[in-house]
Amino acid sequence: MSDPHTPEEVKNTETTTATSSSDRPAPPAAATPVAAPADANSVVGEILGDEPTRKRRPEPTSIVIFGATGDLASRKLAPALYNVMVDGGLKEPTVIIGVSRRPLPVAQFAAKLKDGVTQFSRQKLEPAKWDKFASMLDYVGGEFGDDKMYETLKARLEAAQAKGTKGNRVFYLSTPPSEFPKILKKLEEHKLIEREVQRPGIPSCRIIVEKPFGRDLKTARELNEMIGSYVDESQIYRIDHYLGKETVQNILVLRFGNSIFEPLWNRNHIDYVEITAAEEIGIGGRGAFYEATGVVRDIIQNHLLQVMSLVTMEVPASFAADDIRDEKSQLLRSIRDLTLNEVANDCIRGQYRGYRREEGVAKDSQTPTYAAMRFFIDSWRWQGVPFYLRAGKKMTERLTEVAIHFKSVPLVLFKEEAAGSVLQPAVLTLRIQPHEGISLRFVAKVPGENISVGNVVMNMTYADAFKRPISEAYERLILDCMRGDATLFNRRDSVDRAWELIQPVLQVWEATPGVLPYEPGTDGPPAAAAMIERDGHSWKELTKPEPK
Ligand code: BG6
């Protein structure tokens, strides 16, 4: 079995050997790393109650992508739809209509998407399959405020309906939010959308809205009001692609599908929790976007608070969309608001050196590319447990994970034998990416006559356990929207509450300069380590990936 985690494992598999007071021979003074045999950590997955994509195929639908010549369409949406088609997840006829300002023959639009699929698809592009995918494509060019464009779009949708899409429509708004009002107004005027509670038996009409969903509480509320004035909440699918990631979905299965975790999942047993989203990449060519966004709006307000709510929410009444979303929303409401003082003293903002030289970035920019902050949850389950969230660009490695640190044992029984040793408490890590999986670090006795203890890591990776490729988040999310399953999409109340939670951070940071520089390829500004160390804790160290 190839194990991508060998470096971490070896690092964590340290023995702590005590100087024995017994008459046994004294053990070697230095700790010796004990590497587990290569297959010692294998976990074999047995698939229970599998529901192949094919069985849950949505009804034939027209998918209209506004902003179809943009980056998201070629990097994420086209590869996702191509993979879903290859996996047999789409019923015929499915029609994909690209809409963008530029007039473009459909063949050129297809060629553009083909580049994206070639570069970014998880499954290799195969000519015959691509031809089939290309036959599903259509394109309408024109200004988003131009009536003619909507007349053409209407004609194309009617043609799709005549082919068999039964009037089912998804409008994917992959444009800057400033375009949404114009697009929705025109769609309504041309009777391409109408407000209707979505239910089985009627043609579906849904709207997918990309993040960022507003830029603060006020603008998010205005955006919600505006969209809500055209369509019903059941028609709105606010995307947070983190929720489509396998490992994020597995948080609930791990917690509520196993009876061994839930009794420990509270303040009695958990010391603290780290949630990390570290990226090796910088801001790419997105200087202007990033200047207006920054890491708090880009990652913490949405992705990390969503992950935190799944890790900490109460047991839902069922796995139905609103039961899960009710619990998430309830949890977000019980996160304690940060005071302005706490933001000033305990929240850390950093900016990688060189950021100010990126295209589209101000020479004196104060935009944070790194942030670390601590939240508490005022609930019986979580009272007093700190949750440390950090996210950054240009860091040591690409790693997104949740590390749940359990409390130390109350009494070290073999104290004398282990004198001076560091018995590290158990850590359960939910690795969201890369090498998706779960690992548990715990203490074990090193074989031998002495009471020597070592930290060992048990690893489960999806790739090894189930021998199945992991699909991309967008594949799952687009399919779910077509099926009318909103479980993995954000509801309005959660979006508002997440903005409310980070509002004090935005307020203080935007009013006072003070972003701390950090070197690219590091774990962020040293002040972030100092912040968590003040509480007697420490971040898990990020490790450089092995050279390829
Ligand atoms: C996006 C952010 O939402 O998530 C990007 O806008 C970030 O800045 C990306 O790079 C990270 O997503 P993933 O799936 O690569 O972790």
- The per-residue pLDDT for range 498-533, each reduced to its tens digit, is 999 999 999 999 999 999 999 999 999 999 999 999
Q: What pLDDT, on a 0 to 100 scale, did the predictor assign at position 38?
A: 40
How far does the centroid of ligand 1 lie from the alpha carbon of residue 367, in Å? 17
Contacts of 51 (CB under 8 A, 6+ apart): none
Taking the C-alpha atoms of residue 420 and residue 486, their distance in angstroms, rounded to an integer, is 53
Per the rule left: phi > 0, alpha: psi between -120 and 50, beta: everything else, 211 is beta
Q: What pLDDT, on a 0 to 100 scale, did the predictor assign at position 102?
A: 93
Half-sphere exposure of 157 (CA within 13 A, CB side): 25
- By residue count, the chain amounts to 548
8 Å CB contact between 235 and 198: yes
* SS3 per residue for 288-341: HHHHHHHHHHHHHHHHHHHHHHHHHCCCCCCCCHHHHHHHHHHHHHHECCCCHH
8 Å CB contact between 140 and 153: yes
Nearest Cα residue to 395 out of 548, 506, 540 = 540
Q: Which two tokens stand for residue 252?
A: 């609930």
Query: Which residue has the least CA distance to atom 2 on ligand 1?
Result: 298
Q: Long-range CB contacts (< 8 A, 24+ apart) of 8-12?
A: 8/457, 8/543, 9/35, 9/36, 9/41, 9/457, 9/459, 10/35, 11/543, 12/441, 12/455, 12/456, 12/457
Which residue spans of the chain are classified as CATH 3.40.50.720? 60-203
Contacts of 2 (CB under 8 A, 6+ apart): none
pLDDT tens digits for range 304-329: 999 999 999 999 999 888 999 999 99
Phi and psi angles of residue 37, each rounded to the nearest 5 degrees, phi first: -60, 155
Q: Selecting from 3.40.50.720, 1.10.287.130, 3.40.50.300, 3.40.50.1220, what CATH number does the domain 60-203 have?
A: 3.40.50.720
Per the rule left: phi > 0, alpha: psi between -120 and 50, beta: everything else, 192 is alpha
How far does the centroid of ligand 1 lie from the alpha carbon of residue 432, in Å? 13
pTM for the structure as a whole: 0.88
Query: Which residue has the least CA distance to atom 10 on ligand 1?
Result: 279
Q: What pLDDT, on a 0 to 100 scale, did the predictor assign at position 178?
A: 86
**Which residues are known catalytic residues?**
303
352-367: b (≥16 Cβ within 10 Å) or e:
beebeebeebeeebbb
How far does the centroid of ligand 1 lie from the alpha carbon of residue 505, in Å? 21
Q: Which residues of the chain have pLDDT under 50?
A: 1-40, 419, 548
Q: What pLDDT, on a 0 to 100 scale, did the predictor assign at position 46?
A: 63
Nearest Cα residue to 307 out of 386, 245, 373 = 245
Which residue spans of the chain are classified as CATH 3.30.360.10? 244-405+471-533
Task: For 363-377, give the DSSP string.
Answer: TT----SEEEEEE-B
The closest-lying atom of ligand 1 relative to the alpha carbon of residue 242 is: 14
Pocket perturbation via mutation, ligand 1, pick of 72, 275, 303, 402 by most ligand atoms within 8 A of CB = 303
Place of tokens 């444009």: 175
DSSP β-ladder status, 387-392 and 370-375:
antiparallel
Q: What pLDDT, on a 0 to 100 scale, did the predictor assign at position 117?
A: 97
How far does the centroid of ligand 1 lie from the alpha carbon of residue 464, in Å? 25
Q: What pLDDT, on a 0 to 100 scale, did the predictor assign at position 19?
A: 30
Alpha-carbon dihedral angle through residues 187, 192, 194, 200, given to the nearest 10 degrees: -140
Taking the C-alpha atoms of residue 409 and residue 264, their distance in angstroms, rounded to an integer, is 14
- 244-405+471-533 falls under which CATH superfamily? Dihydrodipicolinate Reductase; domain 2 (3.30.360.10)
DSSP β-ladder status, 452-461 and 15-17:
antiparallel
